[in-house]
Structure 1
Amino acid sequence: MELAWIWKSIFIVFAGMILLRFAGRKSISQMSVATTVIMISIGTTIVQPIANHAMWIAVGSATMFIISLIIIEYLQLKYDWFEKLMSGRSKVLIENGQINQHNLRSMRMTVDQLEMRLRQNGVSSISDVSTVTLEPNGQIGYELMRHAKPVTIGDLERILGLKFESTPDQSTLFQEVKSNQHASSIDPKLQ
């Protein structure tokens, strides 16, 4: 029975994966405060059974954490005040090209940190940005000024007066998701 911890470890990993699958598909960067706390709790709980032989209690606790997360997310969908309480709201950091120093300070963010995040998103000048928000998940959202927005194919078609038809027979990544099949099973040329 000395090697029983190996099987327990494997079982706990699979149980954790199944439970986290029920929790949803959010990446770590998109997790809310509640999700982060629950995921840390699950991680701590899942490790415990190997040390103290309480495997079913750990799985039961992890299940309760996931159920709590699902209830919290449901309540956030149902009640706006609960979502605001649990996740917060987006904060405007730049409005009409001007930095909102008050909101920047309340988010404990420096201008240098804001500029770094904008650069990471391909923005090279604050004067090119109309609005920047800090979202509850920590990501920034932004809207470029009209002069800095990229031209789309639709814009070019309108400018040039052209009309092109799309080719629906081409395989795309979105078709894979919609049909629930890998591209190789959709397009025989890819096999």
Structure 2
Amino acid sequence: MHLFIEVIIRTGVAFILLLVVSRILGKQTISNMTFQDFVSGITLGGITANLAFNTSINRWLLILALIVFFGIAYLSSFISLKNRTWSKWVSGTPTVIIENGKILEGNMRKIRYTMDSLIQNLREKNIFNMEEVEYAVMEDHGKLSVKKKSEYELVTRKDLQLHVASLKSFPVELIIDGKVLEENLAQNNLTREWLESEVRKHDKAISDVFYAVKGTQNNLFFDYYHDGIHNPIDPG
């Protein structure tokens, strides 16, 4: 029984420590997985896993190892911000795969990137014809960035000389799952009274609203608990 309690406590401590470390290291670690982030993630995961389950190793030694490695990862990230050479070495650099519509086989061999992978990544970007591609770059986090040739680019409102509505504000969520987000109201100089009056314009009450958001053009969108859809589509 004592062992079970110890594992529970160690697992909880490991989770909290890993969460704190991840928050301090920043969103980069979970969004753009560079070489440095990959190594950091694997090592931190290994240390915390041992902290949680490996009762044969002193927990304080594992916590010390976690803190030391966190310090190394944090220092490396800090140096990367200040030193371009170090950043290139630990994170890598982008590699051009296609230039002016021509596939650079030499660059592909350098990073051990196959044609099958290239074709698959292009398909994932809805590109099925190689002739559409002008440039393709393998980013340092392993994702492919593609620029199509001009004749294959999508037409924009600017191309058609149509009026483009500018962004008036960032979307502000007002109600989620029936709960008014008072903090969002306060941050945007909105009041609960104003929200209630807007809801009443639709002959509804706050308790009827499942989700509400103030959009980029200051337009309000409401979704209600009772949508009046009696036979919803269920593809399953």
TM-score (norm 2): 0.67
SS of residue paired to 1:155: coil
Partner AA of 2:65 in structure 1: S
Determine which of 125, 143, 151 is the counterpart of 2:129.
125
**Greater relative CO (CA pairs within 8 A, separation 6+):** 1
Query: CA-to-partner distance for each residue in 1:24-46, whole Å, 9 max, x for gaps?
Result: 11365621212211221111111
SS of residue paired to 2:171: helix
SS of residue paired to 2:98: strand
Q: CA RMSD in A?
A: 2.3
**Would the aligned equivalents of 2:35 and 2:92 in 1 still touch at CA under 8 Å?**
no
TM-score (norm 1): 0.81
Query: CA-to-partner distance for each residue in 1:108-141, whole Å, 9 max, x for gaps?
Result: 1222221111111121211111100111111111
Mark the runs of 5 or more structure 1 residues left unpaired by the alignment: 177-181
| 2:76 equivalent in structure 1 | 72
The answer to which structure has the higher helix fraction is 1
Change (3 A) 1:27 1:150: farther
Determine which of 98, 101, 111 is the counterpart of 1:94.
98
Amino-acid identity (%): 22
Shift of 1:16: 1.2
> Post-superposition, which runs of at least 4 consecutive aligned residues in structure 1 deviate over 6 A?
none
Range with bigger deviation, 3-12 or 136-145: 3-12
Shift of 1:183: 4.0
The answer to which structure has the higher strand fraction is 2
| 1:14 equivalent in structure 2 | 16
Query: CA-to-partner distance for each residue in 1:62-90, whole Å, 9 max, x for gaps?
Result: 22222211211221221111112112211
Q: Distance in 1 between matches of 2:130 and 2:48?
A: 45
Mark the runs of 5 or more structure 2 residues left unpaired by the alignment: 176-180, 186-194, 200-211, 213-221, 223-236
Task: Find the structure with the greater CA-based Rg.
Answer: 2
Q: Distance in 1 between matches of 2:76 and 2:29?
A: 18
